Amino acid sequence: MLKILLAGKYQMARWVNTDNSNNIYVTGFKYSGTSTIYTDTIIVLKYNASGTLQRKRNISHSWLGGLPMRSELDNSGNLYIGTVGLSLGFTLIKLDSSGNTIFNVANASANNTSFASMRLKNNLVLMTSFAGNGGFVRACVFDTSGTFLWSTLFPSWGGMDVEIDDSLNCYILTRNLNQVSPSSNYDVEIFKFDSSGTLLNQYNYDFGNSNDFANRMTLVNGKITIIGPSIQAGNAYMDWIIFQIDLNGNKLWDARYDYTTSNDEKPSWVSARSNGDVYVSGQGGPDTISVTGSHYLRYVTAKYRNGVLQWVDANPYRGYIGVANVLDKNCGLYVLGETAMTAIHYMDSCAIVSSIQESNITAEIDLIIAYPNPFSSTLTLELKLSTAQNVSILVTDV
């Protein structure tokens, strides 16, 4: 977050996007006051790839309290800003690539007074609220022309994050109060709607006698990876949980991270590659370096592959929680720290087989067909044998 004092006003950044030309878009708000925030304006900044400010847009939008928002870019450079409505519901604003306002629309049918997350997929924009009075989740969908399509209100506790698959089915991540096992308390829950708002299914995930609070998910290559904090029964300390499901809600794997039993571990962000690698950044870890502070504030990044922990880096900084991470195109990972905007760049290996060398095939095999080539997560080998025999295949991680 960035705060700048301008004639009694403050500006706070809330989200950032980059387009195909590496231009940078920062969305936030302007407010007055210190103990109480009086928001009066949404601010949109555009920088070029060199960091030079290209333009600044001010959009009037009053709200008492910090204005939660997210923004998304489409392939044409249009920017969509999602936030809470002026009174109830959600507001969606669209700016074209030149910064002109295409529409500024709102719908109050979801009857929420908060905002949590937003995703853009093809012609759909899906938004959800963090919480609702009485344990209800609110969600709302517009199309990219600004037309309101549908909203929903259903019992659960906190719409934490959303995703949209290639069939435009909408997934809402929340938590559910376990009615069957009181000792389990909260479980992770995902509601799945089709593009018209029809509820297709709801999936519940129970990780034992614990309070499980999911806070973020990401959909890559037909798999959804979910992270969240978890407090086991009889334990005052927090762990983090991570698990992966397919688009039918089937759990593929899960893991619990509890590096130090007497300290908290809490995940903040998750990224995934199409080859199955998953990266989580957050807080908590071992106290291996003598510096002032507490273990639970350690800046931690972890990598998983098919649910197996590959490596953990507990950076020596304290209070520099890994609040976000992003993948680059060269198998690297950038992690943003909370305090002083500290960034760490990790280099990692992308485990994919790039080609099949048929010259190494033994004479007993008449034909081998490998597809797709190259591949990301699954490789199929078809073998034509001259006689029935056992075949040994060695696949090397390059």
Check if the beta carbon of residue 109 is closer than 8 Å to that of residue 129: no
Neighbours of 296 (CB within 10 A): 20
Mean pLDDT of 219-228: 96
Closest-CA residue to 315 (of 348, 332, 340, 337): 337
Mean pLDDT of 231-244: 86
d(CA 320, CA 340): 8
Neighbours of 374 (CB within 10 A): 11
Residue 330 scores a pLDDT above 90: no
Give the residue with greater pLDDT, 367 vs 31. Answer: 31
The pTM score is 0.83
Mean pLDDT of 117-130: 94
Q: In the sheet that 117-121 helps form, which strands lie side by side, from edge to edge?
A: 117-121, 124-128, 136-143, 148-155
Question: How many Cα atoms occupy the beta-carbon half-sphere of 209 within 13 Å?
Answer: 5
> What's the fold here for domain 3-347?
Methylamine Dehydrogenase; Chain H (2.130.10)
Q: Which range in 12-21, 30-39, 361-370 is most confidently predicted, on average pLDDT? A: 12-21
Mean pLDDT of 231-249: 89
Give the residue with greater pLDDT, 114 vs 243. Answer: 243
Mean pLDDT of 168-192: 82
Q: How much is the mean pLDDT over the chain? A: 83
Side chain identity at residue 90, one-letter code: F
What pLDDT does residue 78 have?
97
Q: What are phi and psi of 173, to 5 degrees?
A: -90, 130
Give the residue with greater pLDDT, 120 vs 232. Answer: 120
The residues spanned by each domain of the chain are: 3-347, 353-398
